Structures are given as C-alpha cells and as structure tokens.
Copies of this chain bind each other. A is one copy, B any other.
Amino acid sequence: MKIGDLARHAGCTTETVRFYEKEGLLPAADRAANNYRSYGARHLERLRFVRNCRALDMTHEEIHQLLALMETAGADCGGVNELLDAHIQHVDLRIAELLQLKQQLDALRQRCQQQQGVDACGILLGLAEMEASARPERHTHLG
C-alpha cells in the first residue's frame, strides 16, 4: 500500500501521514525499490488509532503516552484509565470556561439594543470598562 492509499483508508492526507511519521506517532515505513513508502494492515490500524485519538482532541503528547502504555507488554491499563480521566477533565474545564465566557458575552450584548453612535454604544463602553481579571492560565490544551 502506498502512502496515498493509506491516507485515503484512514481519512487523512498524505502530508498528515508523513507528519505523524516525523512526530513518531507512526513508525517509519518500509521503502519500495523506488523509495516510495510501503504500508501494510498494521500501519493502517495504527494510523486509525491515532486519528481516533485526535478526533477526541487528544494532543500528540497524550497519544504518545497512550501508545507507550499499550506497547508495554503485560502492563495493566491503569495508566490508560488515568490518562483518559485527565483528558476528560481538560474537556470539562474548557466547557466551564466557555460557559462563563458566554455569560459575559451575553451580558455585554445586552448593553446595546439599538443602533446608535459609536460613542454611546454600550458594548464599546463595556469593553473599555471591563476589568479583565488577569486572564487565567490555561490548564488545558483545548483552545
């Protein structure tokens, strides 16, 4: 299987595949005589796994850790559970942040009900007055 076939089967682009190889998320492929990358079913499984993790918004670092845990022969999956729990916490946290943000935005939006001169616009006044409590550090990679 050439890189384009692999990519199509996994629903991503060839560039992404090469990028994952560089990142160590996929093992370096075998090369055919013409120097083209050559893949088998195992590679496809692995790539699908990685893409599934990405679909769940895991970082490359999290995926690396997960792969390492999987490949430790005879290990139990406690580490896997912990990793997933931590990831779920990231998501929960980001949801909470965005809900709070939404409240602030709705409140700001309330301050201007009709079109008027920009000098009188409640939204602009609100943006000028706000005291952006030194913005919280990110505890999550989710933007």
**A residues near B, CB below 8 A?**
11, 45, 48-49, 51-57, 66, 69-70, 72, 74-78, 80-81, 84-85, 87-88, 91-92, 94-95, 98-99, 101-102, 104-106, 108-109, 112, 115-118, 120-121, 123-124, 127-128, 130, 132-135, 141-143
Q: Chain B residues with Cβ under 8 A from A104's Cβ?
A: 56
Q: Nearest-CB distance from A64 to chain B (Å)? A: 14
CB of A84 within 8 A of CB of B105, answer yes
CB of A57 within 8 A of CB of B115, answer no
CA distance A141 to B133 in the complex (A): 22
A77 contacts which of B49, B85, B121 (Cβ < 8 Å)? B121
Q: Chain B residues with Cβ under 8 A from A102's Cβ?
A: 88, 91-92, 95
CA distance A120 to B52 in the complex (A): 18
CB of B117 within 8 A of CB of A74, answer yes
For the complex of A and B, the 9 pairs showing the least CB-CB separation, nearest first, are: A143-B143, A77-B121, A55-B132, A52-B130, A11-B134, A78-B115, A76-B115, A52-B132, A95-B98
